[in-house]
């Protein structure tokens, strides 16, 4: 597609439920990133993929968070047993090269609300 797409755009869930967030990167972009954006907190790095492997998972806040990427394309971020503090906008980005050296293209985000 023309840009990075994410689904759903909004997700409201109850505390304790699991959620899956999806990201479709720009075709041909081998690097894919997940961030979390909370009000006044900037962008918090979660995880990075190069192809299907995740060399850097250092930002995942707890073992309730996991992510996978298949076929070097679509990625899914899963949050198990959601908590209210998980409420945030989850952003996906992709780039041709490494983020530290290349422009990242961001998706519109998924706004997660945990009641």
Residues at the contact surface with another protein, assessed by CB under 8 A? 3-4, 31, 33, 35, 40-43, 45, 48, 50, 55-56, 59, 91, 93, 98-101, 103-104, 106-109
Contact 64, 57 (CB under 8 A): no
Q: Considering beta carbons, is residue 77 or 93 the nearer one to another protein?
A: 93
Beta carbon of residue 109, minimum distance to another protein (angstroms, whole number) = 8
Q: Considering beta carbons, is residue 14 or 58 the nearer one to another protein?
A: 58
Q: Considering beta carbons, is residue 46 or 112 the nearer one to another protein?
A: 46
């Amino acid at each position: 597609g023309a840009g990075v797409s994410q689904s759903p755009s909004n997700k409201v869930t109850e505390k304790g439920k699991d959620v899956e967030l999806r990201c479709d990167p720009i075709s041909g972009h081998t690097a894919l990133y997940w961030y979390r954006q909370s009000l006044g907190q900037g962008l918090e790095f979660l995880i990075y993929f190069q192809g299907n492997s995740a060399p850097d998972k250092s930002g995942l806040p707890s073992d309730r968070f996991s992510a996978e990427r298949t076929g070097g394309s679509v990625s899914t971020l899963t949050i198990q047993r959601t908590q209210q503090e998980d409420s945030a906008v989850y952003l996906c980005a992709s780039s041709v090269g490494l983020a530290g050296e290349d422009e990242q293209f961001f998706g519109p985000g998924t706004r997660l609300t945990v009641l």
